[in-house]
Structure formats: C-alpha cells, structure tokens
Amino acid sequence: AAGVIQSPRHLIKEKRETATLKCYPIPRHDTVYWYQQGPGQDPQFLISFYEKMQSDKGSIPDRFSAQQFSDYHSELNMSSLELGDSALYFCASSPGTSGGGEQFFGPGTRLTVL
Amino acid sequence: AQKITQTQPGMFVQEKEAVTLDCTYDTSDPSYGLFWYKQPSSGEMIFLIYQGSYDQQNATEGRYSLNFQKARKSANLVISASQLGDSAMYFCAMRPRDDKIIFGKGTRLHILP
C-alpha cells in the first residue's frame, strides 16, 4: 500500500539559510499535518491543511510557512534557519478532518542546521 | 486542557515477558482517538494500535493490545511475549475533535536478552 512520502530524508543547512520540505500524502487523502520533533522530545504539531486551505495552526514560528497544492502535496518552507530548528519533521495525512481517526505518518525529514 | 501523560520515562524488560506501558489522557471532547506509536532509533513513527472513544471493546493488533479504561482515562499498551526488536521509544497519543495529534513524552523500552 502507498504510504506518505517525504523529501528529502536528510537535509543539512547553515544558519540563516532557507529550507523546503516536501510531503506527498497517501492517494485520496486530502488532509496534511506537519509535526516537529526536537532531539529527545515528543512531536509537536505545527500546521495542517484540508482541501488546500489551512485548517489548524500550532506552535509554528513566523519564519516558517506552508501550503498545500492542487495535487494535495504540501511544502513546508523555513527561512532564516536557526540552530534550534534542527529536528525531525514529520508529515502525516488522513482522509478528511473528522476527529479521532488515524493519521498516517511519513518517514520524516531530518534537518540539521549548522 | 488536552494532555497525554506517560509516567515511565524508561523500562527494562526481559525478553519473552509481557510489558505494560502506562498512558493517561485528559480531554473534554466526547469523541477522540487514542494511539500508540513505536519510534525506533531510525526515527520513523510506526503506528501500532488505535482505540476510538466509543469503541466498546479493547483494541488488539497481534502482540499489541490496548487496555482502555474510559472512566479512568487510561489507555495502557500491553505487549505480549516481548522481542529484542521491541526495543524503542513508545509514544501514546490522542487525537481529539480538532484533529491535531497530541503526544505524550514517551517511554523508552529496553528488551534484555
């Protein structure tokens, strides 16, 4: 079965650079979620999209922006990178926004900021 | 406030023994889902088991079962006949009505040979 695809899997950037993370949800899933997991931490919700519109927003810095495109893939854009942005970034997808159901996680993008 | 509490930061268990990972939750939403995820050192988030708030029976998936006690707001994960490959970080998580998943701090499980 098709799973959530994230690219790149690993990314190394310098401070103050920009990074773009991509997420391709499971086919026919119209909702995408982004999570950030710092070293030794639990994942924290950043932002979500349903039918290409932002549906919820968590603790996402103003330096970050995201969007969902017509083919439902999503991109997380991160500017003016800081050392503290080094983390594992997960994308998850689900069909619809009905509360309670499973979200399917991608393998994550490991971002290292030097 | 929506919250997941995992009180066991780390556990050591002998191979082939059963293990219970504790999880309590807090939410005022009547409809929610409870999950357990396994995260090995490679970092991927592996879905293990799901329990809906209205499900009458405890969820089971192979060696995994979820001991759901709604009145106590607990959702403990039971792993039967533990294996060396079960060594990993385990996260309990909740998805209330507003969709984002809230994770606990995790329990690091070590299976001893």
> What pLDDT shows up at residue A105?
93
Residue of chain A minimizing CA distance to B46: A105
Tell me how many helices (H) and strands (E) chain A has.
Answer: 0, 11
Confidence class for position A103, pLDDT limits 50, 70, 90: confident
Distance of alpha carbon A69 from alpha carbon A74, whole angstroms: 6
The backbone torsions φ and ψ at residue A107, rounded to the nearest 5 degrees and listed phi first, read -75, -10
Q: How far is CA B64 from CA A32, A105, B23, B80, B106, in A?
A: 27, 19, 14, 7, 17
Residue in B25, B45, B70 to test binding to A, most A beta-carbons within 10 Å: B45
Here the tokens at position A6 are 């994230």
For chain B, what is the mean pLDDT? 94
**pLDDT at position A99:** 53
State the average pLDDT over residues A72-93.
97
pLDDT at B20: 98
Q: What is the pLDDT of residue B26?
A: 95
CA distances from B72 to A52, A108, B48, B67, B76 (A): 38, 34, 22, 11, 11
Rounded to whole angstroms, the Cα distance separating A107 from B67 reads 28
DSSP-derived letter for residue B17 is S
Cα separation of B113 and B12, whole Å?
11
Confidence (pLDDT) at B98: 58
Encode pLDDT of B57-79 as tens digits: 999 999 999 999 999 999 999 99
Q: What's the confidence (pLDDT) of residue B1?
A: 80
pLDDT number for residue B97:
73
Position A96 pLDDT exceeds 90? no
Query: Nearest by CB to A100, which of B52, B105, B106?
Result: B52
The pLDDT tens digits for B87-98 are 999 999 999 875
- At residue A59, the pLDDT reads 87
d(CA B84, CA B96): 33
Cα distance between residue A31 and residue A48, in whole Å: 7
Q: How confident is the model at residue A3 (pLDDT cuts 50, 70, 90)?
A: very high
Does B5 have pLDDT greater than 90?
Answer: yes
Task: State yes or no: pLDDT of A101 exceeds 80.
Answer: no
Query: Chain A partners of B97 at a C-beta cutoff of 8 Å?
Result: 99-100
Q: What is the pLDDT of residue B112?
A: 96
pLDDT tens, residue by residue, A4-50: 999 999 999 999 999 999 999 999 898 999 999 999 999 999 999 99
The residues near B60 (Cβ < 8 Å, ≥ 6 apart) are B49, B66
A73 in B contact zone (CB under 8 Å): no
Q: Which of A26, A22, A20 is nearest to A4 (CA)?
A: A26
User: Count of A–B CB contacts within 8 Å?
Assistant: 66
**What's the pLDDT tens digit per position in B31-57?**
899 999 999 999 999 999 999 999 989
